Amino acid sequence: MQPFIVIRNYRDDDELKCQELVRDYIMSFVKRSFYCFCFREITLQFIVITWAILFIFIGVPLHFCAMTIPGCIFFLFSGTYFSFYAKAVELMRTKPSQSLVAECYEPFIFRLKPREATYQIFLDESPYEQSYLNKFRKKIIATRIAEPMLNLVSKKCVANGCSSLECTISEWQEEERDFYDNMGFITRQIYHKQVIGSSLTVMKTLLTYDLHANVRSEHSKLETIK
């Protein structure tokens, strides 16, 4: 049986599934960001200062002070994990006025990986009868169909009078950056968001997608084909 995806409007019964999806997506960056923070200058400074306080002011033997290194690393990982978790909880509680979801239908026995399979994509609803749909397991997904989802969002935004789309990505989201570049997003601004004053910052990139330019490009392609 051919797996397929239905892109439809958000329903109230999708809330829990979408919250889990948001949580899993945000938490997927914990390890990558932790490794990034490990090599920051502030991490080395924190270890040295902790070592000095224990040795000079408390009198801890020098060889025991070395135990501050795994302790500081554990503290860094815990801080990174709970920071992302707090952000995930914040986004999970956000309820947009309008939203689209992608619902994936796969056979109950399906051993192929998402990148190895081919999915049909339908808008609003599937053309199959309910008896046939009962043979599939379904779940809300996001990353597998970013391009058709973005194209659909662009069309809806143009119909509602919007002129552009904007998104912000962090320095460790390289795969997402390549996707947006290929889709036609351009870099509008690069800035550093402060996490702990000016000592610990995260580089952010603001990307913009000109909807009107995209519409003109599609019209020109159609005229060329004609």
Residues 105 and 206 in one domain: no
Instruction: Considering only residues 215 and 182, tell me which one the structure prediction assigns the higher pLDDT.
Output: 182
**Strand (E) or helix (H) holding 136:** strand 136-141
Would you state the pLDDT for residue 197?
Answer: 58
3-25 pLDDT per residue, tens? 998 888 888 888 888 889 889 98
Position 225 confidence tier, pLDDT thresholds 50, 70, 90: very low
Would you state the pLDDT for residue 136?
Answer: 93
Mean pLDDT (whole number) for 198-226: 64
> Which residue, of 145, 180, 205, is where some domain finishes?
145
Residues 179 and 128 in one domain: no
Residues 112 and 74 in one domain: yes
pLDDT at 208 over 50: yes
Query: Which residue range forms the structural domain that includes residue 17?
Result: 1-145
144-195 pLDDT per residue, tens? 566 777 777 788 788 878 888 888 888 777 777 888 888 888 888 888 777 6
| Domain count across the chain | 2
Distance CA 226, CA 221 (A): 9
Residues 107 and 35 in one domain: yes
Distance CA 16, CA 61 (A): 52
Mean pLDDT (whole number) for 94-106: 82
CATH number of the domain bearing residue 187:
3.40.630.30
Residues 103 and 215 in one domain: no
Position 224 confidence tier, pLDDT thresholds 50, 70, 90: very low
Other CB atoms within 10 A of residue 6 CB: 20
